[in-house]
Amino acid sequence: MKNFLCLLFLVYSIFFNAQVAIGSSVTDHKGKVETKNFTQFLNSETIFVFPPVYDKSVYEKILKDTWTITPYKVFLYGEADLTDFMSDKYSFATVDGKIVEKNISTSIYTYFSFFTFDMKEKTKEIEKFLSKSKKKEDYDLFEKYRQYVGGFYLFQKGELVQSSYANSIKETSKLAQSEDIFFNFKPGFLKNYFQSVQKGISDKAASSVYDVFKTPELKKLQTATLYVPNYIGIKFNPNLYKLEDKERSEEDKADLFSKYEFKYEYIDDNALSEKILNNEDIYYFRYVRMNNGKFLNIVEAKTGKIIYSESIFGMSYNLKPDYIKDIKTAIKKF
């Protein structure tokens, strides 16, 4: 009986956290839960660092309403020298990313990550850096010896993708840390992500953004309205000379859900964010594209619980009606 309850607990944790990574990697198909890293994180004070897309008070309110597992401080980029907090007393939560070059292809990953440092190795690195008579001005002390415990993908707008090809990593990072450059970075969306990350870290149950599942709660969408943020209607144009986002026509937006037989409603992203912040009892469609991967979730807005999770890979950069048809099929099964 005890083993069964443990299994049930693990399954529930995975269901809750899809499109959120819990473990030693944000981008791998399944990171490991390193107990010592989670213990270090849970015994730390978390330094949250945000781009100045919103006033600091907006971020503080989100965390006040959701974050309970560690004490925390909130900064906007540039407000503090983060190396002042580089010790095992602190953990970090911030916009993050990496560029992976393989053969002739380049993949750009952007995410919000939660991590500590391996301070034994980090101390050696700092001592070596300080001992050099001539120091590299652009040396990043934050890059090495991170111990990830969780994170979630940030859906890049075309402007950021374009910058990653046209500019240096430093310039692209500066853009990501200062501009409204992600589709899924509204306050309400962040609230649900933070709820999921917090639960995953507390449960110490590994999950991946690639997890695929469907839960019986989908049955509620036979009568409940599925809210669809307007950014879902954006099409990405992968023109080699101009990577850009283009809004679908109203006809195309309707066609995208033409095979969905239940109630749905397109809604302004900010209006949906407000509904989430106001704890309305609703379900909404969440979508992230990362390179050739498309990640589809249906989220219960009060708790951030995911009731549907699908990962799709292939050459297409955009959503298709058949992807939405699969959601309809899943709803009908329950």
Residue 242 shares a structural domain with residue 264: yes
Residue ranges for the chain with pLDDT beneath 50: 1-17, 241
When divided into structural domains, the chain yields a total of 2
Closest CA to 203 of 3, 12, 2, 5: 12
So what's the pLDDT on residue 96? Answer: 94
Q: Are 31 and 208 in contact (CB under 8 A)?
A: yes
So what's the pLDDT on residue 172? Answer: 80
Domain residues for the domain of 299 are 213-333
Tokens found for residue 292:
């050739």
Q: What is the length of the chain?
A: 334
Q: C-alpha 93: how far from its chain's center?
A: 12
So what's the pLDDT on residue 19? Answer: 62
So what's the pLDDT on residue 243? Answer: 56
Residue 244 shares a structural domain with residue 132: no
Q: How many CA atoms lie within 13 A of 54 on its CB side?
A: 17
Residue 236 shares a structural domain with residue 286: yes
Residue 274 shares a structural domain with residue 310: yes
Q: Are 229 and 272 in contact (CB under 8 A)?
A: yes
Residue-wise pLDDT for 318-332, tens only, equals 899 999 999 999 999
Question: Is residue 4, in this structure, part of any structural domain at all?
Answer: no
Residue 105 shares a structural domain with residue 181: yes
So what's the pLDDT on residue 59? Answer: 99
Residue-wise pLDDT for 99-121, tens only, equals 888 777 778 899 999 999 999 99
Q: Write down which residue in 134, 168, 203 finishes a domain.
A: 203
Q: Write down which residue in 203, 236, 255 finishes a domain.
A: 203
Residue 73 shares a structural domain with residue 146: yes
Question: Is residue 226, in this structure, part of any structural domain at all?
Answer: yes
So what's the pLDDT on residue 244? Answer: 63
So what's the pLDDT on residue 31? Answer: 74
The model scores a pTM over 0.95: no
So what's the pLDDT on residue 104? Answer: 75
Question: Is residue 175, in this structure, part of any structural domain at all?
Answer: yes
Residue 196 shares a structural domain with residue 219: no
